[in-house]
Chains A and B, each alone.
Chain A
């Protein structure tokens, strides 16, 4: 039902129809972004040529394990870390090309919700001051209209008016994150980037916060980039998903397609690894173990060719020699694409034999 609502929102704002042959270009266009860091061991490429487009009203989930570069990508999109190459266009404006002062003025259009709800709030500011700060900083409205906007934002995220004068330390973790979200939406941004917004919260509180984000997306015309390692949460919130591995997007498509028919071996392994509360749980983990082998390689020495080949049961010489380019899965809406030489064979069940692996026995 709310799938329909989302599609409705997309159509209303005049975004390209899903049938379009290319990804919808939209309010946020991330093209070929790369971020490099100096570490103790040398220079690493944390994000390596990532492109992502978000339309208004759309939620894109970004999943991947620690070290895949998803949080770095979020920070690069917000220009909090320098990019080595690529561009981030917000409503047509290239953020990377803006002088600092201009960039600061643009920031009210793209806001972020952080993982650590308590740490992301200044401990000495009251709730209402915190939520009103973005408005003050950007000189939006006068005192009275700002107070109104703060009250509205608090209501939207489900904060009782009684907490307006409290300090962050006097709130529960869930309430703290609501403050973080209210602060992010109070300037009416076009894009909301959520970096693991629920992973620091208790399970019963997670669901509350997910619902808040879900409602906001329906009520405001937001494009949302939702970053999480919890696949079921991403599945629940996202229209489209992108799976990252070692700095690259290895598979992307609509959430329903990627999660029900993953084509990339890594996506398959990732999805199968999620422990589910059902009777087949243990058996599924056995399958997952055959799809993701060994350990995550170091970014200091990334594999040649396909990034995933060192852990892939289907890898062969071609995978080591050439890097697979993003390739669209035909017969679908054109949104589904992945980087794998052998996905057709794997899908047909005739992929190269999963290389035998000593610690395994079939269930």
Chain B
């Protein structure tokens, strides 16, 4: 059926029961992704961005005492309700994942080509020889020079950037329809980061897969994603196309995030404008806007009721009581941080 979203997340809730009480890591998140779409998820640590991604595939440590509710429809199937066996087929099959630290997700005692081939045999039912040659192909595909030789090497002999390439080749080995990248370049140097981001973008276009990129860096999203959603304390606070957001960030938190990074083009222009205070560690679950305590614009209502997501433009949602007013303002006057 055309027009059906590839991924449809509805009212996702993830709660961890910890010794110091429940933590609402994800608090009622809903969004959809179309096939081939690229979506950036931006937030600080504790915003619930990584937990959201893990919840899609129910990737939790067995020690976690976690409750998940809502629904995650992937290709029409609710991943939260399928059995573990079918879920395993989806993981690494139709949905690929890469993480910040590739070392922890690669088997240190197995040649990288072997690891890719194993996945190919498992998910694509290839024979030994076919899988081995396809693995070399994949390594070449992600820009690893001399792939035949490197396929026989252990992960430890690869540099950080090359290791992330190996991870990517593993993630795309089964031609996933969705690739989830969780801070894939945070541990890498900028020049290496640039290459990995370009690689992800190229692969997305050539393989026609959807990309969900989780990061704290708007610059990374700008380079790779068409759409962006901003999370704070387990909730989506703003969603828009990236191009739109440059000009019309609506939510005060988004505005704060965009403004607090020193602009590279600017010389030293006085103090930065940090967001005061710090993010809540207990996630959402309150009965007011979670950002209100740090917000310059907060008024009585913000401390009493949770603001709903409202449309402030085409494909542009913002969860703020002032969203409509702020949308009006931004069309009249440019944002203060966007000087010519």
Contacts and interface: CB of A to CB of B under 8 A. Distances in A.
| Chain A in direct contact with chain B (Cβ < 8 angstroms) | yes
Contacts of B256: 204
B201 A211 contact: no
B264 A231 contact: yes
Given A65-B190, A210-B272, A232 B263 contact: yes
Interface string A195-226: 00000001111111011001100000000000
Contact of B246 (A255, A277, A288, A295): A277
A289 B194 contact: yes
Interface in B210-260: 216-224, 243, 246, 256-258, 260
Contacts of A232: 261-264
B101 interface: no
Interface in A262-294: 269-279, 281-282, 284-286, 288-289, 292, 294
A229 interface: yes
Interface string B282-302: 000000000000000000000
A134 to B, nearest CB: 27
Given A204-B260, A235-B264, A255-B267, A278 B246 contact: yes
A66 interface: yes
Interface in B33-84: 44-45
A226 to B, nearest CB: 12
Contacts of A204: 44, 256-257, 260, 274-275, 278-279
B262 A236 contact: yes
B195 interface: yes
Contact of A275 (B192, B193, B270, B274): B193
B149 to A, nearest CB: 15
A229 B261 CA distance: 14
B197 interface: yes
B206 interface: no
A286 B279 contact: no
B217 A275 contact: yes
A359 B218 contact: no
B159 interface: yes
A6 B267 CA distance: 13
B307 interface: no
B143 interface: yes
B223 A281 contact: yes
A278 B223 CA distance: 8
A182 to B, nearest CB: 18
B184 interface: no
Contact of A65 (B44, B189, B201, B222): B189
User: Looking at B45, B265, B268, which has the most chain A CB atoms within 10 Å of its CB?
Assistant: B268
A62 B128 CA distance: 50
B18 interface: no
A279 B246 contact: yes
A289 B198 CA distance: 9
Nearest to B247: A279
A26 interface: no
A328 interface: no
Interface string B130-142: 0000000000000
B89 interface: no
B194 A273 contact: yes
A207 B272 contact: yes
B272 A285 contact: no
Contacts of B45: 202
A214 B265 CA distance: 18
30 contacts: A6-B268, A65-B189, A65-B190, A66-B160, A66-B189, A202-B216, A203-B216, A203-B217, A204-B44, A206-B274, A207-B262, A211-B274, A214-B272, A231-B190, A233-B262, A235-B266, A236-B272, A269-B191, A274-B219, A275-B220, A277-B222, A277-B246, A278-B246, A282-B224, A284-B223, A285-B197, A285-B198, A289-B195, A295-B161, A296-B159
- Nearest 9 pairs between A and B by C-beta? A275-B219, A207-B274, A236-B262, A65-B189, A277-B218, A281-B222, A207-B260, A281-B223, A273-B194
